[in-house]
Structure formats: structure tokens, C-alpha cells
Amino acid sequence: MFKRYLGYLFILTFLSLTTIPCVLCAQSTISTNVTSITDAQTTINSAINSVALGATSSNPGYVLLTAGTYKISEPIRLKSNVVLKGAGDSTIIFANGSVCNSTGASAYIFGLNVSNVEICNLQFQSTARGPQDGGHGAQQCINLNSTNNSVIHDILFTPYLYSDGVRIEKGTNITVYNCRIRAGHDGISFLLGSSHCRAYNNDIDIRVNTGIRIRDVKGIRLDHNTFYGLHRTGWCCTEMEENVQVEIDHNIFHDYIGSSGNAAVQSRHVSGSVSVHDNVLWNVGKISMGSGSGNIMNPSDKNMKNWVFKGYGYISIK
């Protein structure tokens, strides 16, 4: 009997020891506040790497950034199956222009060949204070490259950031929603072979170039967004380039004056198909590309709340 007991004890001890490394190898949720240092990305990236171990699309890892200002000097680098979540506008990612110039990762938050990521409930700030500070080439706040099945939502991009707000390249099934964008170049971009992506329920105050830029894509939908901007800067609300397949519906385009154009939908060396239907437009330029019906041009009722109630523009859907 004693030998049998020792045998059971050995088995139980062995099983418990073999499970310990799995418990210690990663945490599924890490909450961090490193707002007192200038290299916050080091701690954030360490947390992302940890929660990514063992994470899956159905059981993701979470990195939670509490309220405060996180000063970064290098990019935050994403891993698959990770949620990077702040506490709303009180969680600020702050950087100067040098962060965007990092070799191979020109963004505040960068994801390459990742899937099933979520970025949400943050605010982005920089030292930029005018349109001359923004729009530095291909730099971005969030850049997802060759990424799929991911979402970006509930983010405030403050005025004249050193970059685009969101740039998606070669992405599949990427959704951007519930964002307030006043970025230093394009608000949102879907580019270079991206497909089956959607931008909806975003409030876009155009500051430098365009509200949403589309280039060489298919299966893109832009819906229930509001575009505007009386800064006399920028070019157009939405820009179409190269070969595109896009649907644009239930948006509000209003009160936009750019420096070199003011179109609601602008073409540039473009081919393909653009369906523009069931939008509301006033005090903006023309739809220079796109076929469709149901667009309401220069209505006598210019009350935003009324049109939102009718199902158009930002916050018209939840």
C-alpha cells in the first residue's frame, strides 16, 4: 500500500511540474502604466511579447494601458492575437517625428504579417501644431502591413500629427470604426492590394491631404462616416487611385474647403469601379468618380442631428 501511495504521489508531482512552465511562460493580461519614462515602448513591447505566447484568435492576450501619457521613442510592435487597449482619451501615446522614421517600422504602432489584432481606446499626440508639421511622407500613427482579420476603433487622432492616422497596406478584412481623426496627412488609407476592408462611423476633420485615401484595392466599403474641414488645407474628402473597387454609402460630406480642391470623391490616375450612393452632401465639391443613386445634394435641412437620426454619418450606427 505504501509503495502504491508513493507511486501516486510521484505521478501527481510529475504532472504538476510539467504544467508549471506553461503557467509561467506568459500572462494572458498585463496592465501597465509607464508614464514616467521616455521609452515607454520598451515595457509595452515586452508586455505584447509576453501575452502573445500561447494566445489564439479565440483566446487573445491583452495589454491594458491605464490613463496617462506614454512617451515613446521607438515604435510599439504588434504581435498576432493581441489586444492593445487604453482607457479612452485619457491614455495618450505621445511621440515626436523621429519615431516615425524608424527603419522598417515607420509608425507609432506597427504590425507586419500579423493577424487578429485589436487596437482601441487611445489618443495620439505629437508636438505638431500646424499643417506644415504634418504629412511627412509615408509615416503613420498606426500602420498594418500584410495583416488580416484585425480592428482599430475608438481612437482620437489629434490635429496635425506627424503622419497618417491609419495606414493599411496589403491588408485583408481590416475594420476601422468609431475614430475621431484630425491627422497630419491622410486620415485613413487602404492601399496596395488591400481587400475586404471597411471604414465606418468615423468623424474626419480633414487637415492636410485627404480624409480617406484608396489605392489599388478591392472590396472596400466606406460608410456612415462624416467628412468636413474648413481649414483651407488638403485636397479632397476621399481619393481614388489606380485600380479600385469601392462602395461609398450613407456618409455625410459637408463644409469642406481644401487648398487645391474640395471634391467629395476625387479620382487620380484611376480605373475600376466606385459606387457612390445614398450619401448626403452640402457645401462640398463634386463626386468626380462613381455611379450610384440616392445621393442627396445640398439639402435645405443642414442639421447634423437630423441626418444622423435618419441613418447617415458618424454615430448613426453603433
- Residue 138 has what pLDDT? 56
CA–CA dist 44, 30 (Å, integer): 9
What's the pLDDT tens digit per position in 64-95?
A: 999 999 999 999 999 999 999 999 999 999 98
Contacts of 33 (CB under 8 A, 6+ apart): 65, 66, 67, 68
- Residue 6 has what pLDDT? 41
Nearest to 229 by CA among 268, 267, 203: 203
Which 8-state DSSP code applies to residue 287? B
Record the cell numbers describing residue 272, joined without a space: 475600376
Query: Residues 160, 162, 164, CA angle at the centre, nearest 5°?
Result: 85
What's the pLDDT tens digit per position in 92-112?
A: 999 877 787 766 778 999 999
Q: Where is average pLDDT lowest: 19-23, 80-84, 139-143, 260-264?
A: 19-23
- Alpha carbon distances (Å) from 40 to 68, 77, 104, 130, 308: 11, 12, 19, 26, 39
- Residue 7 has what pLDDT? 47
CA–CA dist 109, 137 (Å, integer): 16
What's the pLDDT tens digit per position in 162-208?
A: 889 999 999 999 999 999 999 989 999 999 999 999 999 999 999 98
- Residue 137 has what pLDDT? 62
DSSP H or E stretch at residue 83? strand 82-85
Q: Does residue 251 carry a pLDDT above 80?
A: yes
- Alpha carbon distances (Å) from 67 to 31, 64, 89, 207: 11, 10, 8, 27
Q: All domains of the chain, ordered by start, with CATH?
A: 29-309 (2.160.20.10)
Confidence of residue 15 (pLDDT cuts 50, 70, 90): very low
